[in-house]
Amino acid sequence: MLNSFLNILFPETCPVCKRPAKDHKTAPICADCWQAISPYEGPMCRKCGRPLVSDVSATCGECLEDEPAFTYARSFGLYEGALKKAINLFKFHGIKRLSKPLSDIILSIDMPEVDTVIPVPLHKKRLRQREFNQSALLAKYMAKGLGIEAKFDCLVKTRDTAPQVGLNSHDRRKNMKKAFQVRNSELIEGKDIALLDDVVTTGTTVRECSNVLKKAGAENVYVITLAHGMMD
Ligand SMILES: [Zn+2]
Ligand SMILES: [Zn+2]
């Protein structure tokens, strides 16, 4: 608590290693800690990208039972260490300069060629609270890096949903049902889409977004996220 308070007051201290961080494009995270951010290379679900405890990549039970509408989902790393700090500083403390180095991380994810990037939208009520949609900012840089355009007016969140924490998978799905809608569907018909979010944990949100995008005529949806959170 005290540490995070001090970090906000004295951003020159790296929040990961607590050493003074010299002026750097990833400040307050120091260059050493930033360079230590590494991709997850362990076994994962081939479909949803969820890290698996087994030693081979396979399709996870949830994807076998209820096949997601997206073609596949991939994250860069695990939601831990410097990557977690960076995402939280960006998302909750509004340190927007981190959007550029974070989108560089996104661009290093191996993904197929896509026509457009669509961020997971926030409900307008949340947008007012947070002042910006972190995923939209990342989508803008990601699309720029890919030489394509991001679309911000195709997928909208029309219903504010309760936090997913503590809900079982059935209730999570119910909670997200009809929360998203597609507008201007002619812009996504037949298109291959990268659906971008910062963190994926249970996958309920990106599953629901993929459902509505596919129903509106998208050809393929690839879910791309910075980090995969661990479920309890
Ligand atoms: Zn550091
Ligand atoms: Zn899976």
Ligand closest to the CA atom of residue 31: 1
CA distance 200 to 211: 16
Question: Do 165 and 222 belong to one domain?
Answer: yes
For the chain, what is the largest distance between any 2 Cα atoms, rounded to a whole number of angstroms? 51
Looking up residue 136, the CATH number of its domain turns out to be: 3.40.50
Separation CA 152–CA 164 (nearest Å)? 24
Q: Both 188 and 85 in a single domain?
A: yes
Instruction: Indicate whether 61 and 86 sit together in one domain.
Output: yes
Residues 30 and 46 in one domain: no
pTM, to two decimals: 0.91
Q: Are residues 101 and 6 in the same domain?
A: no
Residue 73 Cα to ligand 2 middle (Å) = 9
Q: Tens of pLDDT along 204-231?
A: 999 999 999 999 999 999 999 999 997 6
Ligand nearest to the CA of 20: 1
152 & 218 share domain: yes
Domain that holds residue 171: 39-228
Instruction: Tokens 């695990």: give the residue.
Output: 78
96 lies in the same domain as 117: yes
- pLDDT tens sequence across 199-210: 999 899 999 999
What is the Å distance from ligand 2's center to 230 Cα? 13
Q: Are residues 171 and 135 both part of a single domain?
A: yes
Q: Are residues 78 and 188 in the same domain?
A: yes
What is the domain count for the chain?
Answer: 2
Asked whether residue 149 falls in the same domain as residue 98, the answer is yes
pLDDT digits (tens, 9 = 90+) for 48-84: 999 998 888 899 999 999 999 999 999 999 999 999 9
